[in-house]
Structure 1
Amino acid sequence: MDSYAASLNVGNALPSGTISTMRSYFKAAALAVPLALTAVAAGAAPLVTPMQQAVAQAASADEAIAAFYRGRDFAPIWMGEGAEHRRAAFLWALDTAPDHGLPVGRYDPDTIRAEFAAARTAADRGALEVEMTRRFLRYAQDVSSGIVDPRRVDPTIKVTVPKHDWLEQITAFAEGDPYAFVRSLWPTTPAYTRLLREKLRLRGIQDAGGWGPPVSVGGLSLGDSGPAVVELRNRLIRMGYLRRSAVASFDAALESAVREFQIDHGLTPDGTVGEATLRALNVPLEDRMAQIVVGLERQRWMNKPLEPRHILVNLAEQHAYVVDDGKVTFDTVVVVGADTPDRRTPEFSDTMTHMVINPYWHVPRSIAINEYLPALRRGGAQHLEVYSRTGRVNRANVNFSQYTASNFPFSLKQAPGPRNALGRVKFMFPNQWNIYLHDTPSRNLFARDVRTFSHGCVRVARPLALAYHLLAPQTETPKADFDSVLAAGRERRVNLEDPIGVHLVYWSAWVTPMGRANYRGDPYGRDAKLLSALRAAGVELAGGRS
């Protein structure tokens, strides 16, 4: 395939003076070429061939496609001399579309082959020529930017997918190596490539019979034996966590395999098969493949250059990473929004510009009226300062029982200190949802396997270490500089000399550079919605459950 070169000589030469005549005519007539245009004086060369006329008429409905064919005087790219490589490259791409989790029925390569065989008249060939270009551009959009609109899947997915210029795309395809151009449409990130490989690996396991029977009983640990241990052993062997053996007892090798499985699935690696581990072990192979298909779509949404230094917050994993030039240089577990409609952390990208040390907490109004107003009525919430439009008020002079959620006129703040809800530092990437990363005095939640407890912001388990790491490029003494400001006890903004991209994503399946497939749950149900949308678009997940 790599040896295929593009053929640039397509179509026939036109009579002298025809090009300018065609362009001015088609612009004036919006590309609607009447049949009368081909009527010329006896013996004169026709101004437009029937094929050119058919192409112009078929292309007139779309400006980008019309501009492309107008620029090449309506010469075809899919048929005629030199077009074989383009057709072959595109049909190869469509034949491999299922590998990418794309809806092959949307393009239907078998129908395309039949249409080429059936097209006989100039009108049929011209219409098929333009339809092929439309299909190619649809495929290019799907494989490079995604099949579905993320904002229609779930309103909390605020991702802006990359868009490409259709005229530039079809021109580049027509003028270059068609196979190389098709491959250039695929996301080139290592994350996408690894997911593709894992999908093919699972397909091979599925074709060989899958993972075998599920494990019927939990509560298994070192020293146990019996049928359930054999089921566990056999399933872990098929999953690739254990070498083949006939040992029927829960030995050290099996315990180690269980730990590796638990690490890859975000579970406490205690080496025992409890309820959570049993549930993860028995997830059908087809469901894991579905997670990968969803992951491929999400990677297409992110198919754009990311900043050399950026922060990736994986909401499904509840983990944050700092990435420098493609390598993870810092990571920490995090707590994200609770699974309620008003608290789920949205997915979006923005830019971190500064951090605030010893921050005040400006209590969001929704929290103030829903959670703290009842406490204020009882004389509680003493850790909060109350403000009116004119300044701080003495709460002893306020009868809070007279206020409701609709007429509460005050704002609430919490001063810096050890009990401050934002902890010692917050990391700001100003956005319309008022989401940011911050410290917290509530440390116990970081030990949980699933960490969805916040009001929507992202609580960081290692906030000071993150601050030092982010400040390191702009000072030789990041820790000392930060700690001196912290010790002063007063709120202070510290700007980042080089702003950092922040990407809040929701990846429940990914593969490490070492080839270890990782899976997490679907805490907000977004994967289920996305999978439903992909299936509605024609994506198929063939095979049985095992």
Structure 2
Amino acid sequence: MKYFIILLLGILLMQCRQRHNKTLPDTLPRDSTITRQNAYSELFLDSAGMEAFLREEVENDSTKIYIRNFYNSRNYSFAWFNKDGLTVQAEGFWNLYDQYIKNTNDSAVYYRNLHQAMNRLMYEDSLYETPADVLANTELRLTRHFLYYVKAVYGPKANPEVMRWHIPKRKLNARVLLDSFISLQKQEWKPLSERFYQLRNAVIKYRRIQEKGGWMIIAPPTEKIRKGNRNKLIPALKKRLSAIDAYSPSDTTDLYNDSLLTAIKMLQQQFGLPPSNHIDAALIKELNVPVEERLKQMLINLERMKWMPPQPENCITVNIPEYRLRVYENGNEVLGMNVVVGKTANRTVIFSDELEFIVFSPYWNIPRSIIRREIYPAMNRSTSYLQRNNMEVIGYYSDSLPIVRQRPGWGNALGDVKFIFPNSYNIYFHDTPAKALFGRHKRAFSHGCIRLQQPFELAKYLLRNNPDWPEKAIRKAMNSGTEKWVRISRPLPVFITYFTSWADDRGMVYFTEDIYGHDKKLEEHLFE
């Protein structure tokens, strides 16, 4: 029922993609098949009047063409009004816009004259007292304002590539949007992912907390507080938790009881802290981060969510600062595991690709940079280094640096299996002999590739429909000592992402450390 909203969104997003292109979009021909008998609205614009509006009130040439194309495709029939007044779509858009203004106080999209006109039309039923030229002007201003609104609210404010984000940006096609939107009945209009709206709702909630003065600072405990203890800090802690609806405001005692234990475990999940039954300084430190800083963190990640293309129902995702991999099937998480990612000096790249191969008992073809920095100096220090580490020289680079690989089997840095999604960054998933690292809270230790806590489980999942690869065959191949490549039947999309804040469908908000400093860089682009 919102045909033109979807069309306008598609037009705007095409505009965003072409903003660096000096070539203006083509002008569409006027669709003369639309008549007063079959038009969406009985009201029609005067083409000369529209051109005057574009000359006087629209500066950007591309925007002029997009508005002109929108009305050419409708043969100049109104989009926001019919003979009875505002259309359902107009009221829906205005309510959406009005709610956004109330929740964010974003003055960038506030247009006072249009706001006053719309309030009269919506609440005073003044359509029949409105002159035709004023009505036409309001129609065109609504169209222009919708374009500005969508660009401000749903469009990116920073260039992802400058932010080292190499996942292709979201691309929305007007025709695809129209097809998907026509199938909707009463669902809410959501041009971005559900994760975006979950986090945006959290932003609204935290802004209300900010408007009330934020939350109180809790003194850090001098020792761990355990269940059953009484402590003078606990009433303040309970009050703080009730501010974010994480605890009942009726309990103000100083006792660490079962209810508080449940809340503490939830908080540890939210902040990515190791699970425990006690209250310590690390937890209080996270709780004492000012609401203003949490809001910035959430807004930074809302920006990233605007960049994300639609996530397929079947895919693998890795969230680098969360140190977590998830496998989705039909939109549901079916496998999750901890991972080790690149250390600060060897950051894991943010990108997407498709997983195509499993390599059992792999060789490790050591990157040239690692040979230069680590392997070659070690070879010079000890003639037995290669033998002791199950390595061999298989050639030389043009500068006489040796080409070194590690044989399959004991001590191999890739463990017993690796998973290839071919890419120019030489990033892949793999097993590891250093299992103890998965027990660490912070797990940025690799040279850039992603080490898996449960590689066998991932291999078993990827080969689940292949009768040649039962569990026994997988284990045998992993321990054979002979490299074997297996192509999976259907390549699986992989997204290596970087989110330091997100929310779930319960309204629970999560925060992680900005391990690579990407938040700080994006903050400089988003906030003055």
Q: Answer with 288-297 or 425-434: which moved more.
A: 288-297
- Match of 2:239? 234
Q: Which range moved further: 426-435 or 218-227? A: 218-227
SS of corresponding position for 1:283:
coil
Instruction: Give 1:451 shift.
Output: 1.0
1:493 is matched with 485
Provide the residue aligned with 2:13 in structure 1. Answer: none
Aligned partners of 1:99 and 1:199 also within 8 Å? no
Q: Counterpart in 2 of 1:444?
A: 436
What residue number does 2:453 align with? 461
Partners of 1:53 and 1:234 lie apart in 2 by 59
- Counterparts of 1:270 and 1:348, CA distance in 2: 34
Structure 2 residue identity aligned to 1:315? I
Q: How far 1:284 sits from its partner (Å)?
A: 2.1
Whole-Å separation in 1 of the counterparts to 2:326 and 2:362? 23
Q: Deviations over 1:276-315 (max 9, x none)?
A: 22211212233333333333333222252x3332111011
Structure 1 residue corresponding to 2:215, chosen from 211, 215, 219: 211
How far is 1:92 from its partner? 2.7
Distance 1:109 1:94, change over 3 A: farther
Match of 2:379 among 376, 381, 385: 376
Sequence identity (%): 27
| Letter matched to residue 149 of structure 2 | Y
The DSSP-based 3-state class of the residue aligned with 2:337 is strand
Deviation at 1:364, TM superposition (A): 1.0
Superposition pairs of residues 403-442 of structure 1, within 5 angstroms:
407-442=399-434
CA distance in 1, matches of 2:27, 2:329: 54
In the alignment, what sits opposite 1:386? 393
Does the aligned pair in 2 maintain the 1:362–1:412 contact within 8 Å? yes
- Change in CA separation of 1:269 and 1:185 when aligned onto 2, cut-off 3 Å: closer
Report what 1:42 is aligned to: none
Residue 110 of structure 1: aligned partner = 112
Residue 18 of structure 1: aligned partner = none
Deviation string 1:181-204 (CA, Å, 9 cap, x unpaired) is 9x5343242x23432333344345
Report the 3-state secondary structure (helix = DSSP H, G, I; strand = E; otherwise coil) of the residue aligned with 2:359. Answer: strand
What SS does the aligned partner of 1:481 have?
helix
**Per-residue deviation, residues 196-224 of structure 1 (Å, max 9, x unmatched):** 33334434544555433323435231255
Matched, 1:67 2:77: no
The SS at the match of 2:223 is coil
Classify the secondary structure of the residue corresponding to 1:316.
Answer: helix
Q: 1:308 to 1:510 in 2, by over 3 A?
A: same
The aligned residue for residue 332 of structure 2 is 327
Q: Cα gap change, 1:495/1:138 in structure 2, threshold over 3 Å: closer, same or farther?
A: farther
How far off is 1:348 after superposition? 1.5
Structure 1 CA distance for aligned equivalents of residues 133 and 407 of structure 2: 76
Which residue of structure 1 aligns with residue 253 of structure 2?
247
Q: How does 1:93-132 map to 2 (within 5 A)?
A: 93-97=96-100, 104-113=106-115, 132=142
Contact 1:5 1:178 (C-alpha < 8 Å) held by counterparts: no
The alignment status of 1:474 with 2:466, answered yes or no, reads: yes
Query: What amino acid is aligned across from residue 436 of structure 1 in structure 2?
Result: Y
Deviations 1:6-59 (A, max 9, x none): 99xxxxxxxxxxxxxxxxxxx99999xxxxxxxxxxxxxxxx764144256578
Q: What amino acid maps onto 2:382 in structure 1?
A: G
Rounded Cα–Cα distance in structure 2 between residues aligned with 1:240 and 1:125: 46
Change (3 A) 1:308 1:99: farther
1:43-84 deviation per Cα after TM superposition (whole angstroms, max 9, x unaligned): xxxxx7641442565789224433333344455545785773
How many angstroms apart in 2 are the aligned matches of 1:179 and 1:107?
A: 28
Distance between the aligned counterparts of 2:444 and 2:215, measured in 1? 31
The CA RMSD measured in Å over matched residues stands at 4.0
Could you give the per-residue CA deviations for residues 395-434 of structure 1, whole angstroms, max 9, x where no partner exists? xxxxxxxxxxx93432211111121111111111111111
> For 2:224, which of 220, 239, 242 is the aligned residue?
220
| Residues 271, 124 of structure 1: alpha-carbon distance in 2 compared, 3 angstrom cutoff | same
Which of 304, 326, 330 pairs up with 1:298?
304
Deviations 1:92-138 (A, max 9, x none): 3322335887x833322335336889xx9999998876665344234
2-side partners of 1:107 and 1:237: how far apart? Answer: 33
**Residue 30 to residue 213, structure 1, CA distance change in 2 (3 Å):** closer
CA distance in 1 between counterparts of 2:324 and 2:27 reads 58
Specify the SS of the correspondent of 1:292.
helix
1:206-248 CA distances to partner (integer Å, 9 max, x unpaired)?
4555433323435231255443333233323434443332322
1:277 matched to 2:275: no
Residue 313 (str. 1) matches residue 305 (str. 2):
no
The residue identity in structure 1 corresponding to 2:292 is E
Q: Tell me, which stretches of 5 or more residues in structure 1 are unaligned?
A: 8-26, 32-47, 391-405, 537-546
> Residue 338 of structure 2 aligns to a residue in which SS?
strand
- Residue 215 of structure 2 contacts residue 291 of structure 2 at CA under 8 Å; is this kept in 1? yes
Residue 127 (structure 2) aligns with:
none
* 1:523 Cα offset (Å): 1.1
Secondary structure, aligned partner of 1:356 = strand
Q: Report the counterpart of residue 172 of structure 2 in structure 1.
A: 164
Which amino acid in the other structure matches residue 521 of structure 1?
E
> Is 2:171–2:309's contact at 8 Å kept on the other side of the alignment?
no
Q: Residue type matched to 2:285 in 1?
A: R
Residue 130 to residue 6, structure 1, CA distance change in 2 (3 Å): closer
Structure 2 distance, partners of 1:5, 1:502, is 33
- Structure 1 counterpart of 2:200, from 192, 196, 205: 196
Change in Cα spacing, 1:28 to 1:367, as seen in structure 2 (3 Å) is closer
Letter in 1 for 2:61: A
- Offset of 1:345 from its aligned partner? 1.2
Q: Which residue of 1 aligns with 2:159?
A: 149
SS at match of 1:96: helix
Q: Name which of 529, 534, 546 aligns with 2:526.
A: 534
Is 1:350 the counterpart of 2:357 in the alignment?
Answer: no
**Alpha-carbon distance between aligned partners in 2 of 1:468 and 1:185, rounded to the nearest angstrom:** 36
Matched residues in 1 for 2:136 and 2:69: separation?
16
More off after superposition, 52-61 vs 253-262: 52-61
Distance 1:332 1:123, change over 3 A: same
Measured against aligned partners, the alpha-carbon deviations of 1:352-396 in whole angstroms (never above 9, x if no partner) come to 011111111111111111222221221364123223259xxxxxx
Specify whether residues 216 and 493 from structure 1 end up closer, same or farther in structure 2 by C-alpha distance, changes over 3 A only.
same
Shift of 1:164: 3.0
